Amino acid sequence: MSEPVYVPDPKGVLFELEMLGGSWEKRYRKLRPEVEHMPWGTLDPKDHPENLVIAARRSWTGAAFQEHRTGAACAETLRALIECRAPLDLIAVASRFPLDEMVHVELCARMAMELGGGTEIRHDPDEMIMKPRPDLSPLLRAAELVVFNFCVGEALSIPMLHGTWQASVHPLPRAILGRIVKDEAAHGIFGWAFLDWANEQLTDADRTHLAFVADQAITGIHSLWDDIKKRPPAADSTVHALGWMQTDAYLALARRSMRTKVIAPLAARGVLVRGTEDRPAE
């Protein structure tokens, strides 16, 4: 994710998902049986205004795509952790993260289907995630990915998902969000564990570089916030049933969480980002 935020490519590959089925699906279900235990079939889109259902379909399809990207980012980070010889127990825990993300992809995609079907997303598979700079040391390549993907992205996602889960009132999106929140708890603290381990091996120049990487990630998140501001207004009953928070409440929580869950912990580890919870400084 060297790019601040992913911009879908209208000429790119269509984002589609499939299951191989048979024995492979059985193995997958055995690993994560909770997917099939969700209260599928309990949400009727006809109970809500059509324009909001369309917006929800777009939102959940986008969430599936973002989880797909995060799965790729977790896999790339895992490779870097092995290359820099991070502690084995830390690597072992991180090895579960790509599976978690694939589960989240399926949950979000199936939620979109419950609402009437996914919406079109086209993308360039070669530009989905950040690739670390090849000229850096193995440790700093891993640190780049950890800061971008975990210390910013995943650390921020936990309070946002938890807040959305608390606001949700329908059993289906509430169950989906609850499952994702449980998985993301380990993702959110992973980045800080890595930085604490790597601390003595990082130079001041390394920390300055990581601050720049963090600012890139924060800039991308602000772009996503700009998109959220465009959501159509709706009554609490519909918004909370479709698995959202009201826009103002979401953005207030997002800014507060950016300050307390991302910027402050980075600063405590000597990674001083230029940005604030509102907008990185130019």
Identify whether 277 is part of a domain.
Answer: no
Say if residue 230's pLDDT is above 80. no
Query: Could you tell me the pTM of the whole model?
Result: 0.88
> Could you give the 3-state DSSP secondary structure of residue 122?
strand
Identify whether 278 is part of a domain.
Answer: no
d(CA 230, CA 243): 17
Say if residue 218's pLDDT is above 80. yes
d(CA 233, CA 253): 18
Say if residue 140's pLDDT is above 90. yes
Identify whether 39 is part of a domain.
Answer: yes
φ and ψ at residue 135, rounded to 5 degrees: -85, -5
Identify whether 200 is part of a domain.
Answer: yes
Residue pLDDT, tens place only, 151-187 = 999 999 999 998 888 888 899 999 999 999 999 989 9
Identify whether 5 is part of a domain.
Answer: no
Find the CATH number of the domain harbouring 236: 1.10.620.20
Q: What is the pLDDT of residue 2?
A: 29
97 closest CA partner among 120, 80, 118, 122:
80
Identify whether 241 is part of a domain.
Answer: yes
φ and ψ at residue 21, rounded to 5 degrees: 80, -170
Helical spans, DSSP H, in the chain: 22-31, 50-83, 88-94, 97-114, 138-146, 155-167, 171-198, 204-228, 236-241, 247-257, 264-268
Return the DSSP state at 36: T
5: confidence class by pLDDT, cuts 50, 70, 90: very low
Domain assignment of residue 59, given as a range: 13-268
Domain count, the chain: 1
Identify whether 279 is part of a domain.
Answer: no
Residue 113's Cβ-side half-sphere holds a number of Cα atoms within 13 Å equal to: 11
- Note whether 39 and 56 are within 8 A (CB): no
7: confidence class by pLDDT, cuts 50, 70, 90: low
Say if residue 51's pLDDT is above 80. yes
Identify whether 85 is part of a domain.
Answer: yes
d(CA 48, CA 147): 40
Most confident of 57-61, 94-98, 121-125: 94-98
